[in-house]
Amino acid sequence: MRAILVFAFVLLLQACAHVPQQAAAPINRQDVERSFVLNGRIAVNHHGQRSTVNLRWVHTPGSNDILLLAPLGITVAHIEHTEKGVLLEANGKQYRSHDVETLMDEVIGWHLPLDEMYTWVMARPYPGSPFKVESNADQQIVWLQQDGWEIRYPRYQSTAADSLPSKLLFRHNDLDLQLVVDEWELGSHD
């Protein structure tokens, strides 16, 4: 009988560890003001169309500079996203807008949710917006749902609680993105 009680207690503890948590993300100054450079690859599946691009993303507070490259190093798009708007260069043309997602959809056929994604790639919910999250035994987020997006974190650089993800899966309606991070460079958050 005692073994059954111990087994039931262990099952209860495991169930509690994986129950989704829901809250409004508090504004975390460190997440908002953290700069980084991310080098990696994105596999895109949108409306059944598949493509792969290399990515160089330089994020500073209030701006994103993203270079998308074809596998042979040819520039697919260069995106400069600031609080003032978006400049997207592709196919030898420049496009401007205040809505990065719509502009990317129109010009390259898919989009990155840049307004929130800079915190998601660091395995943090976007500040000030409701979210659901599941964490693993190492206190790393393995699943995040926020603003209509579902993000899975199947791989981290290490098992440390503050480790950065090295593989992320994003899903929003009929858009699936798989991001593999080859290199992280973190800036200060002073």
Q: Give residue limits of the domains in the chain.
A: 22-186
Nearest C-alpha neighbor of 181 from the set 30, 79, 54? 54
pTM for this entry: 0.82
CATH topology of domain 22-186: outer membrane lipoprotein receptor (LolB), chain A (2.50.20)
Q: What pLDDT, on a 0 to 100 scale, did the predictor assign at position 32?
A: 59
Task: Name the stretches of the chain with pLDDT < 50.
Answer: 1-27, 189-190
Q: Rounded to an integer, what distance in angstroms lies between the CA atom of residue 146 and that of residue 125? A: 7
At residue 115, the pLDDT reads 87
* Structure confidence at residue 31 (pLDDT): 53
**Residue 26 pLDDT:** 45
Cβ-count burial of 100 within 10 angstroms (0-12 exposed, 13-18 middle, 19+ buried)?
buried
Predicted pLDDT of residue 48: 87
Tokens of 31: 């997440």
* pLDDT at residue 188, as a whole number: 62
122-138 b/e (C-beta count within 10 Å ≥ 16 → b) = bbbbbeeeebebbbeee
